[in-house]
Amino acid sequence: MPFDPDKVLAEMTLEEKSSLTAGLDLWRTVPLPRLGVPSLVLSDGPAGARGATVDHESVTPSVCIPCGSALGATWDRDLVKKASAVVARQAKDKGADVLLAPTLNLHRHPLWGRSFEAFSEDPLLAAELGVAYVRGVQGEGLAATAKHLVANEVEHERLTCSSEVDERTLRELYLLPFEHAVRRGGVRCVMTSYNRLNGRHASDRSELLEGLLRREWGFEGLVMSDWWALCDTVASGRAGLDLEMPGPARSFGSALAEAVKDGRVAEEDLDAKVRRLLQLIEALGRGGDLGPAGMPAAPGEEEAKPAEGGARLEASPAAEGPAGEHPVDRAEDRAFLRRAAADSLVLLANDGVLPLDAASLSRVALLGPRAEHPGVMGGGSAKVRLHYRQSLADELSRRLGTGVEVTLEPAADRAGIDRAVAAARAADVAVLVVGTDEQVESEGYDRDSMDLPGLQDELVERVAAEARRSVVVVASGAPVTMGWAGRVDALLQSFFGGQEAPGAIVDVLLGDSEPGGRLPTTLPRRLEHSPAFASFYGGASRVHYGEGLLVGYRWYEARRLPVAFPFGHGLSYTSFEIGEPKVSPGRLPRGGRLRVEVPVENTGGRRGAEVVQCYVAPPTGGRAVPGFAYRPPKELRAFEKVWLEPGETAVVVLELTERAFATFEPEDKDWPSLSARLREPYPGTRAGAHRARAGWYVEPGRYELCVGRSSVDIAHRVAVEVEGGHEPLDPGAPLA
């Protein structure tokens, strides 16, 4: 019989209803076999489906896709959708129904321990790729979970600290990816953050969960807590939190039933929580599909396939996991993820040494502590147990063949550096692989420095000074200091590229693959230049987002600070010409949209990718002007990645809605009383805009569309008139 949430809810007792508001255990919800209500299985993400864990380690192996910042570096919606579908299929192998991904927080500060999980410093790039990730997961029949709502960008005291953020900054930056995931992605679950927001936990804030998420954005899915987050029986019960995880219950469950009995929480609120869980079960097609004791029925077993290709080490056996976990190592996933990792590699600098000409090489020195196994993933809930581990050294030796000698020198205590320098002197080219790993970048703690760990900076400096040619590969999830960048011949940024990262690095070094990545976050020259340098850690359990709107490239441009490499930057093995944009109509009316057509030509000799980026500069030019809300100098508002053959031309089409020109302006609650008291304007003063209601407002005027290949490399600027108006946009106005 069809699973009817309303009918099932009507037959429940108060105790049964309340039991569904908290987990059964670490990864499952409570089943009610008598009513055909199954236990849903949840699994960590976003780099892979962890499934059941013991001591925070995956019980069975899993596919490992590029991390969030690596996916961000692809600037490729379709690739991200396919990558998340890979994770979703592995989650299904492990009997999961809900994937706890994507991470939609922003790169506010380079030292944030979970920076590698998030896509970008820019809210639009994070939003676009977040929507793609959600669609990939849910296209496979699972529920995705947008996390962590909201302003969760520090690990220090993460259960108790309060992120102090003004309303406009919240709306324009930190809430924007969640808005897109809900309104455009149709995400089925949202996870609240550990931290407090302006003094109160997100799980206690009805204006956030019921007001913004459900009423304004139209979210109809399930809201769950982060694991062991601090929830309050009454406040969270009234605010709209549906599910406390993990189990057994602490604040919900029987405690919530007692709160309903004595009138502290309305039974209608409890019913709404249960109905949303039942509707999720129905949407996943799981109602009535019960195995023993209400647990999910085990999926059909599929024979695992051995890893293919050369130089694979430490192949994980098919572990005996809990019932229902049968992860499969798929050849098609390996092939796709190798291409995805290559597409995430960012060529930061190249003095003609890359790609390497294998025919001209007789000896290569492969150096550095990551030369054998570069970091492929971060730590914490994003860490998975790999099906196998690839060796970069073996991959390079195999590809170069027996005619080229590859000398491996990890150069870990100081004597190793001396050996590395000697090897570099004797080689045609020195390839240094440096960076971090899951021990350095992880959930639960933040980095204490932006410098490379250990003696890696000294290694690069000395080798660069002695080698005939030097190539540095930085394998890290977040920015590191690169004071030596101008002294090496080529520089590649490899974010944690997942299980196929070593092979992809070799592909790019030898020119079999294009370095398809562009920076999703600014690489600063020094930590002290970063926007939140003075406010990353707070006092009195508070973290003040004092930089406001000026996050990432917005800050560096507004403050005219030099950077190591700008947001959106990335070189290619070919060359491109971005032609003059054609904009229609010439004036953006209320309720309209602009169409921007940009011709792009591959003027080089090989196939490659270009990312066309469109930034909007406000009429005020990024200056503080009396009477106007401050705007950053320019902000990313559209982008598109295009692959072209040599000599091929394509027209990239970008569309901009009114939201691309809007700012969020809070209600000025003080102005009515102040204006009444003022009576007459003081001579010589000019009153600014005082909004009677909060909303997205479009200031009329002449804006500039800045089209180029990075936040600083702008090929064309086109002026457009925007009609705007004094009324806010409709909350349901198109986002894109």
Q: Do 502 and 602 fall into the same domain?
A: no
User: Where do runs of H (alpha helix) occur along 389-543?
Assistant: 392-400, 415-426, 456-466, 501-509
514/637 same-domain check: no
Final residue before a domain boundary, out of 247, 276, 305: 247
Residue 680 lies in a domain: yes
Q: Which amino acid is at 688?
A: G
Amino acid at 445: Y
**Where is 243: in which H helix or E strand?**
none
Neighbours of 647 (CB within 10 A): 10
The domain that contains 483 carries what CATH number?
A: 3.40.50.1700
Instruction: Output the pLDDT for position 711.
Output: 98
* 567-585 pLDDT tens trace: 999 999 999 999 999 999 9
What is the per-residue pLDDT for 492? 98
Q: Which residues of the chain have pLDDT under 50?
A: 293, 296-320
pLDDT single digits (tens) 658-696? 999 999 999 989 888 888 887 766 665 555 678 889 999
Instruction: Please report whether residue 629 resides in a domain.
Output: yes
Last residue of one domain, picked from the residues 228, 247, 266? 247
Q: Which residue has the tokens 């897109």?
A: 180
Q: What is the CATH number of the domain that holds 688?
A: 2.60.40.10
Interval 267-312: pLDDT, tens:
999 999 999 999 999 999 998 756 554 554 433 333 333 333 333 3
384 CB contacts (<8 Å, ≥6 apart)?
Answer: 47, 48, 49, 50, 58, 61, 62, 63, 64, 377
| Residue 646: predicted pLDDT | 98
Q: Are residues 689 and 608 in the same domain?
A: yes
**Whole-structure pTM value:** 0.94
- Based on the fold, state whether residues 580 and 512 are members of the same structural domain: no
**Spatial distance between the Cα atoms of 261 and 268, rounded to a whole number of angstroms:** 12
Q: Which of 216, 232, 247 is the last residue of a domain?
A: 247
Quick one: pLDDT at residue 537? 86
Look up the domain containing 473 and give its range: 341-524
Same-domain pairing of 51 and 130 = yes
- pLDDT value of position 213: 98
Residue 643 lies inside a defined structural domain of this protein: yes
In this structure, the answer to whether residues 596 and 707 fall within a common structural domain is yes
* Active-site residue set: 226
In this structure, is residue 257 part of a structural domain? Answer: no
| Any domain includes 184 | yes
Residue with tokens 């009195």: 540
State the greatest distance between any 2 C-alpha atoms of the chain, in Å, as a whole number.
Answer: 88
Under 8 Å between Cβ of 104 and 179:
no
pLDDT of residue 291: 54
| 503 and 582 fall within a common domain | no
- Specify whether 476 is located in the same domain as 584: no
* Matching residue, tokens 């950077």: 563
455 and 603, same domain (yes or no): no
Q: What's the total number of domains in the chain?
A: 3
Both 41 and 105 in one domain: the answer is yes
Pairing of strands 490-494, 346-350: antiparallel
Report if residue 381 sits inside a domain: yes
**Can you list the alpha helix ranges (DSSP code H) found in 95-159?**
123-138
Same domain, yes or no: 474 and 599: no
Q: Does one domain contain both 349 and 461?
A: yes
Say how far apart CA 15 and CA 516 lie, in whole Å. Answer: 55
pLDDT for residue 1: 64
CA distance 178 to 185: 9
SS3 of residue 183 by DSSP: helix
Residue 709 included in any domain: yes
What pLDDT score does 315 carry? 35
Instruction: List, in sequence order, every beta strand (DSSP E) within 229-387.
Output: 312-313, 346-350, 363-367
Helix, strand, coil tally for the chain in percent (to 5)? 30, 25, 50
Distances from the Cα of 360 to the Cα of 253, 364, 404, 426, 429, angstroms: 69, 11, 9, 15, 11
In a domain, 586, yes or no: yes
CATH code: domain of residue 190:
3.20.20.300
